[in-house]
Chain A
Amino acid sequence: MTTTIGSRVSEMAGRVGDSPTRPDGIEKLRGEFVYAQDLHADRMLWGATVRSPHPHARVVSIDISPALAIGGVHAVLTADDVPGRATFGLEQPDQPVLAGGEVRYWGEPVAVVAAEDHDTARRAAAAIVVEYEVLDPLVDPEEADRLDEVFRRMTIRRGDPDAAGSVVVEGYYEVGMQDQAPLGTEAGLAVPDGHGGVDLYATSQFVHVDQEQVVASLGLDSGQVRSHPAGVGGAFGAREDVNLHIHLCLLALHTGRPVKMVYHRSESFTGHVHRHPARLWYRHHADDEGRLVRVEARVLIDGGAYASTTAAVLANACYFAVGPYRCDSVAVDGAGTRTNNPPCGAMRGFGAVQVCFAHEAQMDRLAAALDMDPIDLRRRNALVGGDSMPTTGQTIETPLPTIEVIDSLLAMPMPGPDIPDDHHHLPGGSGLTTEAGDVVRGVGYALGIKNLGFSEGFDDFAQARVRLTAEGAIVETAAIEVGQGLVTVLAQIARSALGVSQAHVRHVDTSQIDSAGSTSASRQTQVSGGATLEAATRLRDAVLARYGGDRLDDEGVWKGANLVAPMDEVAAAGLSETATFRHPPTTPPDENGQGGVHADFAVAGHRAVVDVDPELGLVRVVRLDTAQDVGKALNPESVRGQIEGGIMQGVGLAIMEELILDNGVIRNPNFTDYLLPTILDAPDVEALLIEQDGSWGPFGAKGVGEPPTISSTAAVAAAIRVATGRPITRVPVRPQDIVGV
């Protein structure tokens, strides 16, 4: 079935399927919500970071004495002051907490400072004298590939390697380096506990993995470090890796004082990983009817200086290199390179974005070569539930409504053909550069597919605890709310499972509950939601059993028409249940990249309508409509928020967002030169949610955060291609790619 958003009314407000308002919305609207940037403690010091001005150099010496001579400076720490493991990393600990012998990327931390106030800390950092022997940086990923400087190689071989079609199209594609650009920069506060341990409150997507890395590098026992969920101003992948977390704890324990640190904007651009830039070579073979016979691809992504999640991003790019299409003969060769470029890691879409741009361009090329409608070609090859993944051979056991996505997109109304002669609605906007008569319009389609949750045998679980109290149900979790609305949806799940109208989420630290895993991979609604549903269901069953009832509501426990235990009595019993949810197990791939490596999938499609000024190379995205496979929309308005926000980031990658590197140095680490879409760039969006039963998420929900960002970029590029006739083989599309100079 399909669902139109915003039309549901429920007798039980705030339960699954409703769209209740956010519990933190009023605090955020009144400026009262406390973010990591807003934390304060008595006797608090400020931290600052000394960063390498070179992408590759040997550290000859560090003279900290000028900083220590400044009044109000309490500590200056370098690599020699890291008491435990000298390195950290999400998948392998290869990144120095503070670089000692060698710096490997521009902006790498070499020292940290704590001082009485923010200005003094920054002045002290600037006073430290680091002598470098500058080395040649390795910045070309193809050269790194030749030198075998790689974090991972990936080989996928499936089916007959000699399969050949009558029609063959080839292409080479590039994707630039995108930044998550969350509005809140990295920030945190570390508070010594007076017994050798520390409490950390910092921006994060995954407090348990932060805590493990702090423990290792500080050489403490696990019980001595508590990582607390703090208010987070957006994430999009940028907060999976540790950045200031270990530094803050080091400084706090060294000084015995609370220490706060907030990155400034340009520092933030070096303080977190980015979306991997990619180079992609493709060859598609099809028969005369347009059925895919074989797909061959080479995928090269640049991981930059340190591992971060490059291995997993590369694998994802390779697994989804064909897109949501059937094909029995596939060969993919991938490499994630190690260079002296800024480290890359997680960003919304996680490898699927880059290959989607390429496989969708290929599908359009193939349609042109076959003289076939591009939508018909996609429908003819559509991958659906029960099919085998073209890359891994895994049978898709949850619903995959690719056909419904295509048909829904086609059924959506198109804007009228007239281009309004109003600068608000023309490329170039209030710059008044463009006249309506010169504008050309294009319409492009794209489909994308991605895994949900962690893959390749990772033990992916989340724990949640549900208590029944006089204030209603309390869901305790260490899962991070980054803005996506987890605090809303977990409460909805608890209300639905328990039958009570009051439910709230309480974030607890790493010592109080087991891991919820990362707020990434579109996974928290499915995994922490699954844990919440299981805990709440068990709690309801335990309450009913204790009082011999058959129904629980706000008044208490009922047996038939009799109230057998009023709620105040039930709440006073202090009952709680804790549940750990695991999604269906996955396996690592074999040497040919085959196996059941994924737990679930989601498909989405986008239709972009663009107006282009071909003389100036300016683009206005007029509409971007979408149909998305959501399993079950637990909160339709929140799903729409994810869709519209994800589309906007996809539009950003398509036409404006790129970190420009010059021999390893980021040339535009600020919001003046790294362009972000504004409200004037926002297209109108209609979103259709495709609901089908069968996923293992609570109530059949699938993750919804990433699919909006995957094929939206490709759809905009396709529309520009249609409008201009230009090949458009790289994103972001630059004016010169349209003008052809």
Chain B
Amino acid sequence: MMITFRLNDADVSARVSAPTSLLDVLRDDLGAFGTKSVCEQGECGSCSVVLDGEVVCSCLVMAADAEGSDITTVEGISADGLHPVQAAMHAAGAVQCGFCTPGIVVTAAALFDTNPHPSKDEIKEALAGNICRCTGYGAIVRAFEDLASG
């Protein structure tokens, strides 16, 4: 079937088969490689996107269900330059291999867009679904604590 949705403020279409996930459509059909495929079962948050205002794991969304929706991926978080969460992560050394990074950017941007001054516990709760294997999370927490206090 053909599906059409808004992706980072542009209309896109893709021909999908029934069991295809939104993640696979983004990567394989639309070439939006910023969204990462890691666990394929909603455990790690690496494929996080904003769908109609809500952060979701795109691996758990059937592509057909994205019909007519408005989706923002990491590529759409900041039109040019860096979103404040990206700048904070860059400055704090919160990126190593970077494979979790797009999912964390998407999740943190949604947090800060609604709560500009989250507490440390609120930061951790918001990111509880995003696994990072490299940093041990220390620099990620510092990045967002710095941003929250700014």
Contacts and interface: CB of A to CB of B under 8 A. Distances in A.
Contacts of B97: 182-184, 232-235, 482-483
A460 B97 CA distance: 25
A648 interface: yes
A183 B134 CA distance: 9
Contact of B93 (A30, A119, A638): A638
A526 interface: no
Contacts of B128: 678-680
Interface stretch (A33-41, A468-476, A556-564): A33-41
Nearest to A40: B31
Contacts, number: 180
A640 B41 CA distance: 31
Contacts of B74: 30-31
A24 interface: yes
A483 B96 contact: yes
Contacts of A645: 96, 133-136
A644 B133 contact: no
Nearest to B78: A30
Contact of A182 (B43, B105, B133): B133
A421 to B, nearest CB: 14
Nearest to A29: B86
B93 A21 contact: yes
Interface in B91-107: 91, 93, 95-102, 105
Contacts of B133: 181-183, 234, 236, 645, 649, 676
Interface residues of B, number: 55
Contacts of A640: 93, 138-139
A430 to B, nearest CB: 8
B118 interface: no
Contacts of A262: 37
Interface string B96-136: 11111110010000000000000001001101111111111
Contacts of A644: 135-139
Interface residues of A, number: 60
Contacts of B31: 40
A646 B27 CA distance: 31
Interface string B11-38: 0000001000000100110010111111
Contacts of A685: 136, 138
Given A640-B138, A671-B44, A28 B101 contact: yes
- Chain B interface helix/strand/loop/mixed: loop
A679 B130 contact: yes
A655 to B, nearest CB: 14
Given A34-B33, A234-B133, A641 B39 contact: no
B87 to A, nearest CB: 8
Contacts of A118: 24, 28
B58 to A, nearest CB: 13
Interface in B66-101: 73-75, 77-78, 82, 86, 89-91, 93, 95-101
Nearest to A648: B136
Contacts of B139: 637, 640-641, 644
Nearest to A646: B136
A58 interface: no
Given A676-B131, A682-B136, A31 B46 contact: no
B24 to A, nearest CB: 8
Contacts of B89: 25, 29
Contacts of B33: 31, 34-35, 37-38
B101 A29 contact: yes
Nearest to A182: B133
A185 B44 CA distance: 13
Contacts of B73: 31
Given A32-B34, A670-B39, A680-B128, A25 B95 contact: yes
Contacts of B44: 183, 671, 676
A183 B140 contact: no
A19 interface: yes
A474 B100 CA distance: 29
Given A26-B86, A233-B97, 11 more contacts: A30-B34, A30-B77, A31-B75, A35-B99, A37-B33, A38-B33, A183-B132, A234-B99, A265-B38, A483-B97, A644-B137
19 contacts: A31-B73, A31-B74, A31-B75, A31-B101, A33-B98, A183-B97, A234-B97, A236-B133, A640-B138, A641-B136, A645-B96, A647-B136, A670-B41, A670-B43, A671-B43, A679-B127, A679-B128, A680-B128, A682-B124
Q: Which 5 residue pairs across A and B have the least CB separation, nearest first?
A: A31-B34, A483-B97, A28-B98, A233-B99, A644-B136
